[in-house]
Structure 1
Amino acid sequence: MAAQRFDTRAGFQAQLDTLLGRARVTLQMFDPDFGWWDLGSTRNDALLRAFLRGGGRLQLVAHSNARLERDAPRFLALLADYRHLIDCRVTNRPLKGLTDSFCIGDGHDIVRRFHADFFRGDADFDAPSSTQTSLERYQGIWAESMPGLHANVTGL
């Protein structure tokens, strides 16, 4: 299947919903602040809870978690409920210049925005070769980041 392009918030969210619904083992997400991801929405909360109930592991890396802490109380509740399956990290100074945004599901599905300030991007499903470069990049970002958002830090 060829990559599916999108250029609107609704298009991005529809592709992300598809990826979240398909993932079974791992979700690896990177965004400067996850401000446009709606991780605290009822819809995404349900998708992520189903994923985590099945034993999936969620990893997020951001430059800042302030927007999640401020705008996503459902996500903070999810973090409290599934803290053993969710790891949130923040980038260090050398990585703060990264401006893209992507989510990789199970190493073979990807939704990516070319720049976090815009919704132009693409989604590719059942395409491990398409995700390989981003997965390697994500692993490098993860290795260079530090622990971030924790349920106990937010008072939950």
Structure 2
Amino acid sequence: MDRLVIPFTTRAEFQQHLASCLSRAQQTLQMFDPDYRIWEMGSSATDGQLRRFLQGGGRLQLVAHDGRQMERDAPRFLRLLKDYGHLIEVRRTSQQLRQLTDSFCIADQRDIVRRFHADHFRGEAVFNGPQDVQTSLERFLTIWIESQPGLYANSTGLSAS
């Protein structure tokens, strides 16, 4: 497959490209969003895609400013976290990163779906474009290092740090 760049401006387009990105992932998923409000992390479709990915040994790293939205609205994701906690890491940004407003999902360091601002749907999807992913990947790694553990599964259920 050749490099494919697809701009988008609607929620439906974002969801479609995010689903494609998730379905293509085999080894790593690295995600950042302020709260994942519109990501449909609790939907059965997303749950199925993430379960397939994790069953294949993939690793998911997710960072948010605030995890309360997912705790409240995404019970399937919380079950996924309990079932695959050894392959999922969820972090919460530190106070100094709370001004960050972009949103992105990187799959296997080759595909990305990004919104330029989390309050809007304008963005782009790039498939089979490892060179297009590099800046966002470096940004993600910086965010990851500056963040603390967020939701995690333990022997009694789920906890928020």
- So what's the TM-score if we normalise by structure 2? 0.94
SS of the counterpart of 1:64? coil
| Identical-residue share of aligned pairs (%) | 61
User: Counterpart in 2 of 1:27?
Assistant: 29
User: Counterpart in 2 of 1:146?
Assistant: 148
| Displacement after TM superposition at 1:154 (Å) | 8.6
| Displacement after TM superposition at 1:155 (Å) | 3.5
SS of the counterpart of 2:152? coil
Q: Are the aligned partners of 1:69 and 1:154 in contact in 2 as well (CA < 8 Å)?
A: no
SS of the counterpart of 2:105? strand
Q: Map of 1:126-137 to 2, 5 A cutoff?
A: 126-137=128-139
* Residue in structure 2 matching 1:67, options 69, 75, 87: 69
| Displacement after TM superposition at 1:153 (Å) | 9.5
Quick one: which amino acid aligns to residue 107 of structure 2? G
| Displacement after TM superposition at 1:36 (Å) | 0.5
Q: Map of 1:47-126 to 2, 5 A cutoff?
A: 47-126=49-128
SS of the counterpart of 1:58? strand
Q: Are the aligned partners of 2:82 and 2:157 in contact in 1 as well (CA < 8 Å)?
A: no
Moved over 6 A (4+): none
* Alignment partners' CA distance in 2, 1:48 and 1:25: 12
* Alignment partners' CA distance in 2, 1:117 and 1:74: 24
Question: Would you tell me which structure has more strand in proportion to its own residues?
Answer: 2
* Alignment partners' CA distance in 1, 2:141 and 2:73: 27
| Displacement after TM superposition at 1:4 (Å) | 0.1
User: How far does the alpha carbon of each residue in 1:43-80 deviate from its partner, in whole angstroms, 9 at most, with x for none?
Assistant: 00000000000000000000000000000000000000
User: Counterpart in 2 of 1:42?
Assistant: 44
Residues 102 and 154 (structure 1), Cα distance of their counterparts in 2 relative to 1, 3 Å cut: farther
Q: Map of 1:7-26 to 2, 5 A cutoff?
A: 7-26=9-28
Q: Which runs of 5+ in 1 are unaligned?
A: none
Residues 43 and 89 (structure 1), Cα distance of their counterparts in 2 relative to 1, 3 Å cut: same
Q: Are the aligned partners of 1:28 and 1:58 in contact in 2 as well (CA < 8 Å)?
A: yes
- So what's the TM-score if we normalise by structure 1? 0.97
| Displacement after TM superposition at 1:2 (Å) | 3.8
Q: Which runs of 5+ in 2 are unaligned?
A: none
